[in-house]
Structure 1
Amino acid sequence: MTLMVDYCPRCGSVYQKNMRNMCNGCRDELDQKLNRCLDHLWRHPNSTTEQLSAATGMDMQELYRYIQEGRFSYNHPNLTFPCECCAQPINRGRLCNHCLGTFREAFPAPAPQPQAARATGGRATSKVLYTSRNNSRR
């Protein structure tokens, strides 16, 4: 028999493993912070990430992670996080359009390889789709 326990990555306490991979105390704390953010966004839908952080007391890095995970709806265009390459503010994905274009130019996608034709033994094949039963054989 094995115990399904682990150390919480946030506080270091021992907890029974669950889907969120953290102890109940840290889970409740994060849920409260997320609910405060959602309440603030409900009242002030045009808030920026900095304004949301200041109003709720939530760390910017946590907000960035929540935005990247999609915990806030995309109806809030002012909630941004930095591009992983140039740190420009973006709403979704990992790279801004400029950096994405640069990577596409630097590493073009390879041309699709044509599939080898199947050996049919020299005869033509065709597929037939029967949509009704042939009643003449009865």
Structure 2
Amino acid sequence: MSIELRVAHCPGCGNVFQKNSRNLCASCASVADDQLNTIERFLLRNRFANTDETAAATMLPPEKIRSWIRQGKIKLFDYPNLSDECDLCRAAIRRGHICGACTIRINDDLTRTLERERVMKERLRVANSYISKN
């Protein structure tokens, strides 16, 4: 009987650790928990702080805060000025990955592309059809 240990390299520090659900070694998991607690304590005292103010006050990069928002570790419903960024234009968003303006632009582009394809197929169908005279 063999025991299989699943190990990986920690993305935070590069040390080898036994795989777990957090995908972090014990020391990096502890640091992440401390950072998250620091953010939560700051936000409890400063409910209306935005993402950049929170990052400056806690000395953490805004990207880290945004990633925790995206992962659901920081809930936005209690903090009206906290936000994530749109993946395309970097506008402030409170939900999803893409802002409303980019969503509309993408949908319009798709609609135009589908219409062009439909017109091209219609032209090909007409060009390849035969007209018979009786």
TM-score by length of 1: 0.74
2:82 paired residue number: 79
Bigger Cα Rg: 1
> Which of 103, 125, 129 in structure 2 is aligned with 1:100?
103
More helix by share: 2
Q: Distance in 2 between matches of 1:7 and 1:87?
A: 31
Which residues of 2 match residues 107-126 of structure 1 at below 5 A? 107-108=110-111
Which of 94, 98, 105 aligns to 1:91? It is: 94
Deviates further, 58-67 or 70-79: 70-79
**Which digits, 9 at most, give the CA deviation of each residue in 1:18-68, with x for residues without a partner?**
000110000000000000101111111001101101111111111110111
Q: State the match for 1:58 in structure 2.
A: 60
Q: Which runs of 4+ in 1 moved over 6 A?
A: none
Aligned to 1:16: 18
Q: Deviations over 1:67-115 (max 9, x none)?
A: 111222222121112211111111111111111111122224x9xxxxx
Range 28-37 or range 99-108, more displaced: 99-108
Alpha-carbon separation, structure 2, partners of 1:100 and 1:39: 35
Partners of 2:33 and 2:90 lie apart in 1 by: 28
What is the CA–CA distance in structure 1 between the aligned matches of 2:88 and 2:63, rounded to whole Å?
16
2:94 & 2:24 partners in 1: Cα distance? 27
Contact 2:12 2:28 in 1 (8 A): yes
Unaligned runs of at least 5 residues, structure 2: 115-134
Find the aligned partners of 2:76 and 2:12 in 1 and give their Cα distance.
28
Count of paired positions: 109
Task: Give the aligned partner of residue 130 of structure 1.
Answer: none
Q: TM-score, normalised by structure 2?
A: 0.76
